[in-house]
Every structure is written in C-alpha cells, then in structure tokens.
C-alpha cells in the first residue's frame, strides 16, 4: 500500500451528472501517463461531499471496473452520516478495494470519544483496513499523538492521510508508530514529508503532476535532496498558479488539453471565466 496515490477527480457533465467515459479517461491518464501507484477515490478532489450515495457507488464501480488490478485503490467513505459511511465501506469491500479511508466527522464539534466511536462503527463487521483522513484546516478536527494512538489500537486502522502542516506531530507519529502507514496530504510539502520518511502521499495535483511527485518522493528516499528540491520548486510554481486560478477547475481544464474529458465542477463551485480558462490552458502548456 506504499507509494503515490492520486486524489482522483471525477468528470461531471454540465448538469452535474457523472460522465462515465470522462471518468474512465481520468483513471487511464493517471495510470498510464502520471504513472501513480494507486488512486484515492471519492475524496475532496472527487467532489465527494457534493454528491449522493448512489453517485458515490457509481463512481466506485466505474473506477474499479476500469482499474482492475493495475494499481491499488483506496475508497474514501467518510460522511457525517455514519450509516452511509458504513454502507459504503461494505460496498467497496465487496467490490475488492484494497482499503477504505474516512475523513474525521466534521461541522458539529464532536469530542474524541465520538470520533473514535465513528471509526469503530464504520469498521464493525467489515473485513477491510482503514486509513484515517486527517485534514484539520477543513474539518476543524485536530488530534494529538495520544489520540492517534488510541485510534490505532483498532487493528483494522492501519494508517493516516496526514494533511496538516504540523510536521512536529508528523515526526512524532512516524517515530511512535513505525508500522503504521503515513501518507503526506499536502502536495506542496511532499519533499519535507518525504524527509521524515512517510510511506507515500495522496494528492490532488497528482492528476496532472504525478510524474514530478514520484520523482520527488523517490529522490528523497535515496538521499538526493538537492535534486528533489529542484523538482519541488517547479511543482510549487505549478501549484501556486493552479491555486490562484481555481484548484479543481484548473486541473480539469489542464486534463482537457491532454485529450481527457474531465468535464465540469458541480455547483455551488463556479466555472472558470474565459480569462481563467485561457490561463488554465497556458498553465498546461507550460508544465505538461
């Protein structure tokens, strides 16, 4: 399960329906062009929190059918509705996904015992492994070393997608739990996380920058830090331009320039203006 995983985008048509052919093209591009080790399906980048349970299932089915056994698959099933999360956990387990992941429950200010119960409930009766998805900036949920340790007491919880800038905590986690999988979640900090010996990374920009990300990770592992730093610099230039122009919209348009029908974002996300559309194309021409 180690390596680089793309936080997979989903292709939607103008009405917000899943574009199956476009989704299959995004999957193939990530495997055949970006050459990532796996796909993280229905995460934030897949606009997961804007779609229905049935749409989530449809995406899980299409991706598994397209991938087969070519790369590893993680299914993000986390939801404020723990019944939905449990249902999806069973659904993807039956489909043959390699692991599930679940974002910490958000919006309501859940205490740690409630968060712990959420994860244990999702895993009840399901023969699978789970990666915690920790992203405090968006969920408002921060956990300390001891709390991660309590969650790891459940043998089915095998690691964490660590999307936080607290690299002191990251180092402490790596030292305290050498047998747990730790994935970096901030693409712009991949080199710094790699130096701390993470097991891999899961990133949005890997949809268009997977090759560079893999180079950074591989070079850092072999101690070639100066080379890795140069590629991280180019990567961060790209990320800066993407963020300034509109994250998901720009990545989708960059994929479109490569012949991948990545489609539209779902409302309430807005579409790119003509000016930003042209900017997205120029970013693609510059970096792809």
**CA–CA gap between residue 166 and residue 164 (Å, rounded):** 6
CA distance 133 to 110: 16
Query: Would you say 282 is a known binding-site residue?
Result: no
Q: Is 202 annotated as a binding residue?
A: yes
Instruction: Please tell me whether 187 is known to bind a ligand.
Output: yes
Residue 222 among known ligand-binding residues: no
**Residue 29 is among the residues annotated as catalytic for this protein:** no
- 276 is a catalytic site residue: no
Phi-psi region of 247 (alpha: psi -120 to 50; beta: other; left: phi over 0): alpha
Q: Identify whether 268 is preceded by a cis peptide bond (ω within 30 of 0).
A: yes
- Flag whether 26 is marked binding: no
Q: Which of 64, 129, 161, 180 is catalytic?
A: 161
C-alpha to C-alpha distance for 152 and 110, rounded to whole angstroms: 19
Greatest C-alpha distance within the chain = 51
3-state class (DSSP) for residue 97: coil
Question: Which among 97, 118, 133, 248 is annotated as catalytic?
Answer: 133
Residue 240 assigned as binding residue: no
Q: Residue 103 pairs with which residues in a beta bridge? A: 133
Q: Residue 4: enclosing H or E segment and its boundaries?
A: strand 3-7
CB-facing half-sphere around the CA of 37: CA atoms within 13 A: 17
Annotated binding site for aceneuramate: 44-45, 163, 185, 187-188, 204
Catalytic residues: 133, 161
Binding positions for pyruvate: 45, 202
> Could you tell me which residues are annotated as the binding site?
44-45, 163, 185, 187-188, 202, 204
């Amino acid at each position: 399960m180690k390596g680089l995983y793309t936080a997979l985008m989903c292709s939607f048509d103008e009405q917000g329906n899943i574009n199956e052919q476009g989704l299959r093209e995004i999957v193939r591009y990530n495997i055949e062009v970006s050459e990532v080790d796996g796909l993280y399906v229905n995460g934030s980048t897949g606009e997961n929190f804007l779609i229905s349970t049935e749409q989530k299932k449809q995406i899980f089915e299409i991706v598994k059918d397209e991938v087969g056994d070519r790369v590893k698959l993680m299914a993000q099933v986390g939801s404020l509705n723990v019944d939905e999360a449990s249902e999806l956990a069973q659904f993807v387990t039956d489909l043959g996904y390699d692991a599930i992941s679940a974002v910490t429950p958000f919006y309501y200010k859940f205490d740690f015992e409630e968060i712990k119960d959420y994860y244990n409930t999702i895993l009840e009766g399901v023969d699978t492994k789970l990666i915690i998805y920790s992203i405090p900036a968006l969920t408002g949920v921060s956990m300390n070393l001891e709390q991660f340790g309590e969650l790891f007491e459940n043998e089915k919880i095998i690691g964490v997608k660590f999307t936080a800038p607290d690299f002191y905590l990251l180092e402490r986690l790596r030292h305290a739990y050498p047998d747990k999988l730790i994935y970096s979640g901030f693409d712009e900090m991949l080199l710094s996380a790699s130096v701390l010996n993470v097991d891999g990374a899961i990133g949005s920009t890997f949809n268009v920058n997977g090759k560079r990300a893999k180079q950074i990770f591989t070079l850092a592992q072999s101690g070639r830090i100066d080379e890795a730093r140069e590629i991280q610099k180019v990567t961060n230039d790209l990320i800066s331009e993407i963020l300034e122009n509109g994250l998901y919209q720009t990545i989708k348009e960059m994929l479109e320039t490569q012949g991948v029908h990545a489609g539209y974002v779902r409302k309430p996300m807005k579409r790119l203006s003509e000016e930003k559309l042209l900017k997205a194309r120029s970013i693609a021409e510059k970096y792809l």
